[in-house]
Amino acid sequence: MDIEKRLLGKDKRAAARLISLLENKDPEGLEILKKLYHKSGNAFVIGITGPPGAGKSTLTDKLAKALRKQDKSVSIIAVDPTSPFTGGAILGDRVRMNDLSMDSGVFIRSMGARGHLGGISEATSAAIKVLDIMGSDYIFIETVGVGQSEIDIVKNCDTTVMVMVPGLGDDIQAIKAGVMEIGDVFAVNKSDRDGAKRTAREIEMMLDFNKDVKWRPPVKMVVAVDNQGIDELLESIHMHRTYMIDNELFDERRANNAKNEVVELIKERIEHTILDKSQKEEKLEYYAKRVADREMDPYSAVDAVFDDVKSALQV
């Protein structure tokens, strides 16, 4: 398959295959991406995150449909947890997006949170590039916002929508620590339910604590199943983008994201090279044992490991 040519011709099978290759860090895939990278950067990348059961898939489905009415092409990357025991996963987000699967202007890809070389954040970031190169106007990344790796995923985004629902009780407290601040726009889904206003108020209160930010994230009420409040939410998402561009924050954010990505890739490469080398020689185990037995301190152990692999790294 001539992936490169077919991808530029907006061929979905080529895009799908390239994403798979990149998930697996296949050198062939990386070569193609290196060649085509300069063609990326045009898509608006939107993160959709929030606790389980918040209705993220349904919301993404409706946002995508609203954009399709404006004739924009849309890609969706849906990330679901993977079983830590077997490495398997059931990825069920498409159930909520069934109508979209017949729309030629939509591409949906489900991903398990594990099972990718380099981690899910790297895999999604690669997938974004592919879909961007394919010419998607909008790319949604939908993920359960509970763990660090999921937070890392949305750091690839231009705008992140945090989805909440009434009736989560203490969960909102648990989520706010470290997670709330990634929301650029808040959506209170299922807002026809009791307690929706209270949930919105609680979010507003939490946002009040963060006084020094210039962008005050709007809190929008939606009922995704009934398609209520979707246009307004989309408008807020666009307002955030406009704000970012007008204040020269958009490029800054992208530069930041790019820096993050490069740093992560460097870290991973170093880790991979060093640990792989050491493990092959069973040295890591050896040093670890010595550190545990207090025969050696961990700092000297690191020095020793680096000395061991210096030649391999040629640094």
Partner 1 sequence: MDRPIRVLVAKPGLDGHDRGAKVIARALRDAGMEVIYTGLRQTPEQIVNAAIQEDVDCIAMSILSGAHNTLLPRVVDLLRAEEAEDILVIGGGVIPTDDIPALKEKGIKAIFTPGTPTQVTIDYIRENVAKR
Partner 2 sequence: MMFNKDQISILKDAVDKENAKTQEKLQKRPERKTEFTTGSGSVVNRLYTPVDIADMDYANDLGFPGQYPYTRGVQPTMYRGQFWTMRMYAGFATAEESNKRYKFLVEQGSSGLSVAFDLPTQIGYDSDHPLSEGEVGKVGVAIDSLADMEILFDGIPLDKVSTSMTINAPASVLLAMYIAVAEKQGTSSEKLRGTIQNDILKEYIARGTYIFPTEPSMRLITDIFAYCSKEVPQWNTISISGYHIREAGSTAAQEVGFTLADGVAYVEAAIKAGLDVDEFAPRLSFFFNAHNDLLEEVSKYRAARRLWARIMKDRFGAKDPKSMQLKFHTQTGGSTLTAQQPDNNIVRVAIQTLAAVLGGTQSLHTNSRDEAMALPTEDSVRIALRTQQIVANESGVTDIVDPLAGSYYIEAKTKEIEDEAYAYIKKIDDIGGATKAIDSGYIQQEIMDAAYDYQKKIENNELIVVGVNKFQIEEEAPKGLLRVDPAVGEMQKQKLVELKAKRDNTKVEETLSALKKACEGSENVMPYVLDAVKTYATLGEICDVMRAVFGEYQQTVNL
Please work out, in degrees rounded to the nearest 5, the angle formed at the alpha carbon of residue 254 by the alpha carbons of 248 and 260: 135
**Which lies closer to partner 2 via its Cβ, residue 87 or residue 92?**
92
What 8-state DSSP symbol labels residue 157?
-
Q: DSSP letter at 40? A: -
* Contacted entry of partner 2, partner 1, none for residue 24, CB cut-off 5 to 8 Å set by kind: partner 1
**Which of partner 1, partner 2, none does residue 253 bind (CB under 5 to 8 Å by kind)?**
none
Among 47, 51, 58, 130, binds partner 2 (CB under 8 A): 58
Could you count the other beta carbons within 10 Å of the beta carbon of residue 85?
Answer: 6
Q: Provide the mask over 37-56, with x wherever binding to partner 2 is found by CB under 8 A and - wherever it is not.
A: ----------------x---
**Mapping DSSP to helix (H, G, I), strand (E, B) and coil, where does residue 245 land?**
helix
What is the C-alpha to C-alpha distance for residues 261 and 267, in angstroms, rounded to an integer? 10
In the beta sheet, which residues pair with residue 76? Answer: 108, 140
Which residues are within 8 A (CB) of 87 and not within 5 positions of it... i.e. 6 or more apart? 114, 115
Cα torsion angle, 94, 99, 100, 101, sign: positive
Does 52 help bind partner 1 (rule: CB under 8 A)? Answer: no
Q: Could you say which residues in the range 115-134 bind partner 1, by CB under 8 A?
A: 115, 117
Number of residues that bind partner 1 (CB under 8 A): 30
Contact map string, positions 88 to 117, toward partner 2, x by CB under 8 A: --x-x--xx---------------------
Q: Is 9 in the site for partner 1 (CB under 8 A)?
A: no
Identify what 225 binds: partner 2, partner 1, none; CB under 5 to 8 Å per kind. partner 2
* Positions in the binding site for partner 2 (CB under 8 A): 53, 58, 90, 92, 95-96, 225-226
